[in-house]
Amino acid sequence: MKKSLSIWLTAVLTLFCAACNEDKPVTKESTTKTEMIHVDLMNAKSEKIGMAMLSEVENGVKLNVEVSNLTPGKHGFHIHENGNCTAPDFKSAGGHFNPDMKKHGSESSHGPHAGDLPNLEVSKEGKGKAEFIVKNVSLDPGQKNSLRKDGGTALVIHESADDYRTDPSGNSGSRIACGVIK
């Protein structure tokens, strides 16, 4: 009796283990990177005014942003080419991230830059929250369009709305906040 119970348990365990090791097809979803990148957004006084979270998705990079203590209205919002946010003017961030050498703006026939984003709307309370899918960029450091290239890139908020056509920066005014993407 003990011998037949032992054989029976061995057979059940063998079948169970074989089922666990069954090959499953690899899908695009199962290979998508889910790493989240956190970016603190700082103003010209080096005070934190918000944060952004970036993650790779199938058709680009998902960008969630929350800000506070900004002037109400629309603000130009871009990804810049250098991962450097030296206050107070943030000019160290360079121009818009533009690996494909296009013109600025979604309304330009020769655009947009990869770093051109929709305007960030800020409420009368000085708060803003948005989610975008940024196409034509990646978080994979090995890609030409990677936001995590050597030296990184930066998220920059401007004082005024982007007009989506004026090259090179959408006539969006001074840079008022910045955060490094590494």
Indicate if 110 belongs to the active site: no
Active-site option among 75, 78, 148, 162: 78
Active-site option among 75, 116, 148, 162: 116
How is 40-78 classified by DSSP, letter by letter? Answer: EEEETTS-EEEEEEEEEETTEEEEEEEE-S--SEEE-EE
Indicate if 175 belongs to the active site: yes
How far apart CA 66 and CA 15 sit, in angstroms, is: 51
- C-alpha to C-alpha distances, 182 to 172, 173, 179, nearest whole angstrom: 25, 25, 10
Indicate if 140 belongs to the active site: no
As a whole number of Å, the end-to-end CA separation of the chain is 65
Indicate if 104 belongs to the active site: yes
How far apart CA 68 and CA 72 sit, in angstroms, is: 10
Active-site option among 80, 89, 140, 162: 80
**Buried residues in 61-83 as b, exposed as e (16+ CB within 10 A):** bbbebebeebeeebbbbbbbbbb
Those residues with Cβ within 8 angstroms of residue 120's Cβ, 6 or more apart along the chain or in another chain = 65, 67, 74, 75, 76, 77, 128, 130, 157
Indicate if 38 belongs to the active site: no
Q: Where in the sequence numbering do the catalytic residues fall?
A: 78, 80, 96, 104, 113, 116, 158, 175
